[in-house]
Structure 1
């Protein structure tokens, strides 16, 4: 009885504080694509790489201005990559991982120039990543070093921005890719 009363109380709190979500259509990207990565810098969203419906890999970056509700192509060419990762640090976006690509690319947002960083010897697609104190942590994924994309990874590593080097960490106990586990 106490459990039922507690659940009803919690449900009542949820519905009392529920908010209505309203969606609106925003500007469309210039090209439909999947398998992209994205990062936020200032008031802009940067979407890179991926694949296009009928004509292969997308090797460019698009910027969405939240303020202006407008997309524009950034004048920078990237190496092909699908299901990669992107993280922002200062005025730079680090684009890495992805199926079939071990190269880290760095987009300077002040110049729109792309430079290459250290090669990742344990790259995957569909990995998780986050940035903390000048280090980009990367975990899991699928297609480790271009293996079959159905093979999940338990790798855990970090990229040190200051030294432009990749470092292994102890493997995760369970192989995963973006929330899935083997």
Structure 2
């Protein structure tokens, strides 16, 4: 039997690699610790904002509020140990991005409810159009690596494979505030999905 047939990330026929599990937003009020988690904020019926990180909730009077920062500010505060301003968002307007269980199908539809942020299915990089700056999941051996950013568009690699240059998300954001280009590596597009 070939490795392709026994691949746990291949589809049932064994031909196409299975994508990483979907991102499923969950209400922040249901989660004990929020520090460092990627979150979405918004108002049901209106819309959502992502690329944010949370700190642990605080209680002021009878209200529970979540300090929420743009990811770039979160990473800068964590690495440079600087104080940054974090708006306090009511907990009922915060959703935590969680990864669905690998064996749990997550129904994804283009028509969604505005009651809460919808699940996000991964998109193969080859089907994505432009990718530079976008969040990626990389299939590495028997697991998926997340918290990566595309630094280039799709290109021919040095060994003839179609690739995208990728950086760790921290290095991607450090590039913005320091000007120092991140360390990157070329990864085959067949192993990459947009989150």
Same fold (TM over 0.5): no
TM, length-normalised to structure 1: 0.30
User: Which one has the bigger helix percentage?
Assistant: 2
User: Which one has the bigger strand percentage?
Assistant: 1
Larger Rg: 1
TM, length-normalised to structure 2: 0.29
Pick 1 or 2: higher relative contact order, CA cutoff 8 A, min separation 6.
2
